[in-house]
A and B are shown apart, each in its own frame.
Chain A
Amino acid sequence: MTDQIDKALEREYEAGFVSDVESDTFEPGLDENVIRRISTMKNEPEWMLEARLKAFKVWQEMEEPDWAHVDYEKIDFQAISYFSAPKSMKDKPKSLDEVDPELIRTYEKLGIPLIEQQMLAGVAVDAVFDSVSVVTTFREKLSEAGVIFCPISEAIQNHPELVKKYLGSVVPTKDNYYAALNCAVFTDGSFVYIPKGTRCPMELSTYFRINEQNTGQFERTLIIADEGSHVSYLEGCTAPQRDENQLHAAVVELVALDDAEIKYSTVQNWYPGDENGKGGIYNFVTKRGICHTNAKISWTQVETGSAVTWKYPSCVLKGDNSVGEFYSVALTRGAQQADTGTKMIHLGKNTKSTIISKGISAGRSNNSYRGLVRMNPGADGARNFTQCDSLLIGDQCGAHTFPYVESRNPSAIVEHEATTSKVSDDQMFLCQQRGLDPEKAVSMIVNGFCKEVFKELPMEFAVEAGKLLEISLEGSVG
């Protein structure tokens, strides 16, 4: 049976192609001068450059964290290039007609058509290619509703008051090693502002693509939902298949003001490396949101890619009655390693958080859930419910759970449930006896295991996520 499952787990990485695009890429290396050059490339105001240089000093004094349950060779930060952009983007294309067709083809190949007529109705896309945003669709339609959806590099120029007020307000520069690095060298990502009382008329999404060799991608995203507003945002990510590891160190900040709601979904499919752990993306990401009174932030993530994942989308429940949610599916196979989970920091009264984590480990992979639930003294009547389920496929993988609970308020209630199960021979045989091949059987069983999380994804993407798992588990992809 193990043989059959192993076979079912072999797969090709469909997004592993390289686009033939001429790029301007910085020489590898990191110093103040590189940061000044990034800032110049982005046409930034002086205050942004100053913030970057300050962050760089902070970062230089910090040490790379080693507490996560992952093992990888130390990163040589001087061997990475910190900026790469297609040459054709230099002239800042005004419309899609002026964008290099090869870039448009790249996204088409990935299933993300950028031509508005061909797109999924009701989804606006910001397409980030290496260090620049290629195009952001439906901007005009969104601006009619007062919604700002643009690359963060543009927001810094065009909406400095919002950026100054909120950038770094949720994840401070000193927060952690990779966040500090990101503050110094971030290149692009998305900026979203939803005005008071507005329900964003479309789903917003950003698609991150790494293409250039030896380049790091330093995504920076900031979403602000003003009072009583509502937005659903989704990000996707892929990269070419290469023998060298590449770094993606992102910072995402969400601000949900009073009565606002942000739903943030991720389908992460970075190149995971080969069977033996050669190549693949290091995905070291800091994601955090702050909820003001009665606000709600919901993180949903489907993590199937990356060689090493280090990621804890979190909620600071500052306002009374605010709600934080974290729904996660993390699949590791081959030699992949994931250390992922969340932090729910309860500050306000009657704050509520829900954590549903589904870890699937196959091959020789290691999959860890790490979660913190903190009830501060002011969090009267706060509640948390955590459910952590692990599914093992085969007998050489590992599933680990590291829950941390800190309760400093006697009226707070924290519940934690955890299970570990295996895809059993009995289940496989039942499926096969009814005519299903082993690949279909495994993917069906795994999809069933993830159902509670998939139902939280926006409709179109729930289907996509299911398919992604299927591809991830399929023996031979045609």
Chain B
Amino acid sequence: MSNTNTKDTSSLLTIKDLHASVEEKNILKGLNLDVKPGEVHAIMGPNGAGKSTMGYVLSGREGYSVEQGSALLDGVDILELEAEERARAGLFLAFQYPVEIPGVSNLEFLKASVDAQREARGEGAVSSADFLKLAKAACKQVNLPLAFLKRGVNEGFSGGEKKRNEIMQMLLLQPKVCILDETDSGLDIDALQVVAEGVNSQRSSDRSFVVVTHYQRLLDYIKPDFVHVLADGKIVKSGDASLALELEAQGYAWLQPSDEEGQNA
């Protein structure tokens, strides 16, 4: 894979012993993950394992509290930052269920987001004309009609259109680390390909992906460097792409510690 040749071997995302809870319920129980620049990591695992929680905790959603551990994004401890500061530091989360913002046009939303991030980096705002060009290109790349730029954010979009819209946002924001939270759920094969192509086009030696998915199917299109199984709040097994095939064939049960083993562990 491309990352093996990169000179910079320091990690883009390092999660160490992360414990986090929601409404006083422990969900993450010692999560470790090390993502180097250019790598694609797939996170798989049964329902309720903490996959979505991981994305929310890392991106700073209200209501998720970190009990222990650390998370560094390109060397910066992000757990103390506000959600918008983490985004500006280069963290992007593609939502499993993208929400609608009626009346706010996609274009307006995208421009405001890009401007806010550029401003935080001390860069000037992009001119409206230039931004429109970029947005049109991104819109075409995810195979959405240009009219979608004028429509309200996700307003009346189909499930597949919403997911493509997420990828369009990613294309414009150019983050360092992208977490895709079950972006493949509810997608037909065509939309899945569009999403995967969007991601693949962004793979580079200085950007990394954490792809959360239930199904091996997505990984046919986005080839991961590593596959991890998240169960009961921590990574229980890691391997290469072949692990996903194994999981597809055998399910997760064989990986989960039985109650007795769990107690012994």
Which listed segment binds B: A102-110, A223-231, A239-247, A434-442?
A434-442
* Cα(A444)–Cα(B108), bound, Å: 9
CA distance A437 to B88 in the complex (A): 10
Is B140's CB within 8 Å of the partner chain A? no
Identify which of B82, B87, B93, B103 gathers the most chain A CB atoms within 10 Å of its CB: B103
Would A437 and B99 count as touching, CB distance under 8 A? Answer: no
Contact yes or no, B116 A427, CB < 8 A: no
A437 contacts B116, C-beta separation under 8 Å: yes
What separation, in Å, do the CA atoms of A425 and B83 have in the docked complex? 13
A444 and B62 contacting across the interface, CB-CB below 8 Å: no
Chain B proximity mask over A1-14: 1 for CB below 8 Å, otherwise 0: 10010000000000
Q: B56-85 vs A: 1/0 string, CB under 8 Å?
A: 000111110000000000000000001110
Report whether A451 and B103 are in contact in the complex, using a CB–CB cutoff of 8 Å.
Answer: yes
B48 proximal to A (CB < 8 A): no
Interface size on B, residues (CB 8 A): 33
**A424-438 near B? 1/0 per residue, CB < 8 Å:** 111101111111111
Q: Which of B99, B102, B120 is close to A430, meaning CB atoms less than 8 Å apart?
A: B99
Closest chain B CB from A331 CB (angstroms): 15
Contacting residues, chain A, for B101 (C-beta < 8 A): 427, 430-431, 444-445, 448
Instruction: Indicate whether B134 reaches chain A with its CB closer than 8 angstroms.
Output: no
| Contact indicator B113/A444 (Cβ below 8 Å) | no
Q: Which residues of B contact A440 (CB under 8 A)?
A: 112, 116
Chain A interface residue count, CB cutoff 8 Å, equals: 25
Q: Is B216 an interface residue (CB 8 A)?
A: no
* CB–CB B113/A449 < 8 A: no
Q: Which residues of A have CB within 8 Å of B84?
A: 432-433, 435-438
A449 and B99: CB pair below 8 A?
no
CA distance A430 to B113 in the complex (A): 10
Indicate which residue in A432, A438, A447 contacts B103 across the interface (CB closer than 8 Å): A447
A375 CB-CB contact with B under 8 Å? no
Q: Given A425-B62, A434-B87, A434-B109 in contact, is the A449-B102 Cβ separation under 8 Å?
A: yes
B43 within 8 A of A: no
On chain B, the residues within 8 Å of A429 by CB distance are: 61-62, 83
Minimum Cβ distance to chain B for residue A391 (Å): 10
A450 sits at the interface (CB 8 A):
yes
A434 touches B99 (CB 8 A): no
Say whether, besides A429-B62, A429-B83, A430-B98, A435 and B88 are in contact (CB < 8 Å).
yes
Query: How far is A209 from B113 in the complex, measured between Cα atoms in Å?
Result: 37
Interface string of B111-135 (1 = CB under 8 A from A): 0111011001000000000000000
Chain B: CB-nearest residue to A452: B103
Give the distance to chain A from B155, nearest Cβ to Cβ, in Å: 9
Which residue of chain B lies nearest to A437 when distances are taken between CB atoms in the complex? B84
* Given A427-B101, A430-B95, 18 new contacts (CB under 8 A): A1-B62, A426-B97, A433-B59, A433-B87, A434-B173, A435-B114, A435-B120, A440-B112, A440-B116, A444-B101, A444-B104, A444-B108, A444-B109, A445-B101, A448-B103, A449-B102, A449-B103, A450-B103
